[in-house]
Amino acid sequence: MNFKINKAVLNNAIKKVSGAINPNTPVPALTGMHLAANQDGLTITGSDSDLSIRTFVPSDETEGVEIIEEGSIILPAKELAGIAQKMPKDLIAFATTDETQMQISSGKSKFTLNGADGNEYPKLPTVEGDSYPIKGQVLQELVEKTAYATSKTETRPVLTGANLFYQQGSIGMVATDSHRLSKVVGDEQVEGDISPVTIPEKTLQKLPKLIGDAETVHVKQTESQIVFQTEKAQVFSRLLDGNYPQTDRLIPAEHKTRLTTNRKDFLSAMERSTVLADKDQKVVTLEITDENSGIFETIELSHNNGEVGQSKEDIIVDETEGEELKISFNAQYMIDALKRIDDEKVVIEFNGAMRPFIIKPENKTHFVQLILPVRVY
């Protein structure tokens, strides 16, 4: 195996693949990166067996890779990454001395790195069947707007991922940790008969960077595996077992109180309200009072941490309608939700002090977030 590669191209590929590697894996081969060179180019793979990432550097690009001899090898991931980063010149030459040892040189610097035979690397899962295309930008949005709401505890394992579903010709995604929920439907018509699957949070975390600015992502899925493919990267992920709960019936269709406010100002106020809060208990109280016979100009947000002090804030609202309300909730959940909205204005719809309430962008219907209130004694 023998090739020459541009330093920046190599570092870029290594960075992508690194995300899948767990240095503490019990499978020794998986602590390394798999490099395979053939006449088409160089393929680099990293995997923790649940998640595998494969990048491809074509040999025909000017600033890419020049393959001199085909072959494959496993090299220690951390060391390979360190060497690639610190090499003195823009061109790095790789040449095996035998099946398990690589010489890497650049300028007057030369490394000999001990690895393992490329054939010892575990096979990636094969995912059969047709793929469907989805816009890179749409997939980005689905992931970024829902992944945060996945459960961080293993009580119900299926909730630690986000559910990808197909609804009225569009792909959507929903996540909930049973205290809050986020659901978004992509604004793109996708053809096919796509079964709902639940994608682990770790995969969601890595996906946006791997998709990058790819225009189209080709998705292929079975009952246990999903593959996301762009021109330069392939992401293989295990899926989560179990039936994802029916979330649509959790989202209330009606409301008793409704307010529209500036997203940024409301977010700042929420962030201020957590300054005096304990780390684990950021409960705030929002009070909407009918001072001017139905026309509210401000609502009040307060937090009381007896020992340290209190905060109080008047929130300027654009519009409110409906009943008076005093409701308490976790401020961090509201902060997380507001951060996922791009619009200038947000709408919040309540159904009384003890019922879940929803947050959504003012002018869009495809994105809805839900928060369960907290009982305060």
Does the footprint of its own copies cover residue 110 (CB under 8 A)? yes
Binding mask 310-339 toward its own copies (x if CB under 8 A, else -) reads xxxxxxx-----------------------
Among 4, 111, 178, 196, binds its own copies (CB under 8 A): 111
Among 25, 38, 112, 119, binds its own copies (CB under 8 A): 112
C-beta of 305: minimal distance to its own copies in Å? 9
Nearer to its own copies, 239 or 270 (CB): 270
What is the maximum alpha-carbon separation in the chain?
A: 84
Does the footprint of its own copies cover residue 308 (CB under 8 A)? yes
| DSSP for residue 152 | S
Which residue, among 215, 240, 213, has the nearest Cα to 226 in the 3D structure?
240
Does the footprint of its own copies cover residue 91 (CB under 8 A)? no
Contact present, 146 and 154 (Cβ < 8 Å): no
14 vs 11: CA distance, rounded Å: 5
Of 33-41, 61-69, 151-159, 301-309, the window that binds its own copies (rule: CB under 8 A) is 301-309
281 vs 343: CA distance, rounded Å: 28
Does the footprint of its own copies cover residue 82 (CB under 8 A)? yes
- Look-up: residue for tokens 């309430």? 357
| DSSP for residue 22 | -
Does the footprint of its own copies cover residue 108 (CB under 8 A)? yes
Does the footprint of its own copies cover residue 194 (CB under 8 A)? no
Whole-Å CA distances, 42 to 107, 311, 371? 22, 58, 47
Does the footprint of its own copies cover residue 28 (CB under 8 A)? no
Does the footprint of its own copies cover residue 92 (CB under 8 A)? no
Q: Is the Cα dihedral 120, 122, 128, 133 positive or negative?
A: negative
Structure tokens at 375: 């009982």
Does the footprint of its own copies cover residue 89 (CB under 8 A)? no
C-beta of 279: minimal distance to its own copies in Å? 11
Cα-based angle 159, 164, 169 (whole degrees, multiple of 5): 150
- Look-up: residue for tokens 């996540």? 175
C-beta of 116: minimal distance to its own copies in Å? 12
C-beta of 327: minimal distance to its own copies in Å? 20
Binding mask 268-287 toward its own copies (x if CB under 8 A, else -) reads xx-xx--xx-----------
184 vs 186: CA distance, rounded Å: 7
Contact present, 339 and 311 (Cβ < 8 Å): no
C-beta of 24: minimal distance to its own copies in Å? 16
C-beta of 229: minimal distance to its own copies in Å? 32
* 3-state per-residue secondary structure call for 57-74: EECCCCCCEEEEECEEEE
Nearer to its own copies, 88 or 192 (CB): 88
Q: Is the Cα dihedral 187, 193, 195, 199 positive or negative?
A: negative
Does the footprint of its own copies cover residue 309 (CB under 8 A)? yes
Among 114, 119, 195, 281, binds its own copies (CB under 8 A): 114
Nearer to its own copies, 87 or 138 (CB): 87
Nearer to its own copies, 187 or 344 (CB): 344
Does the footprint of its own copies cover residue 196 (CB under 8 A)? no
368 vs 357: CA distance, rounded Å: 10
Which residue, among 280, 288, 274, has the nearest Cα to 331 in the 3D structure?
274
Chain residues that interact with its own copies, rule: CB under 8 A: 76, 79, 82-83, 86-88, 101, 108-114, 265, 268-269, 271-272, 275-276, 298, 307-316
